[in-house]
């Protein structure tokens, strides 16, 4: 199984900050990686797929990059609504796996 390790697991930041979350895969997955945002009590929402393609309706302050085994999600200027938990997910091979999550909280 492909393991995804996110870092950090917890991040404290302020409105307006630029933040980066990293997702590392245990083996190469090309660009078959997606990012999701989940707010408490809600279902996850797709932000980015194929490593860098922004899902329709997602603000342009979100961006993704990477290929192979290392990927990043960047939020260029944090807004109050961005404080949530973020997950990466690989679709290179079954079983489909998610990272453990990065909880982003307000400093």
Residues that bind other proteins (CB under 8 A): 34, 36, 38, 42-46, 49-50, 55, 87, 89, 91, 94-101
Q: What is the DSSP string of 52-84?
A: TEEPTT--TTEEEEEETTEEEEEESS--GGG-S
- Distance in Å, CB of 28 to other proteins, minimum: 17
Based on CB atoms, which residue is closest to other proteins, 55 or 65?
Answer: 55
Place of tokens 């603000």: 59
The token pair at 85 is 């938990």
Based on CB atoms, which residue is closest to other proteins, 22 or 38?
Answer: 38
- Distance in Å, CB of 27 to other proteins, minimum: 17
Instruction: Residue 13: name the closest of 60, 75, 65 by CA.
Output: 75
- Distance in Å, CB of 1 to other proteins, minimum: 8
């Amino acid at each position: 199984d492909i393991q995804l390790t996110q870092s950090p697991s917890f991040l404290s930041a302020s409105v307006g900050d630029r933040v980066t979350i990293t997702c590392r895969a245990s083996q190469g997955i090309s660009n078959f990686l997606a990012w999701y945002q989940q707010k408490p009590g809600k279902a996850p929402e797709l932000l980015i797929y194929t490593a860098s393609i922004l899902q329709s309706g997602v603000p342009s302050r979100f961006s993704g990059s990477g290929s192979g085994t290392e990927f990043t999600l960047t939020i260029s200027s944090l807004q109050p609504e961005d404080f949530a938990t973020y997950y990466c997910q690989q679709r290179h091979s079954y079983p489909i796996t998610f990272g453990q999550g990065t909880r982003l909280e307000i400093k």
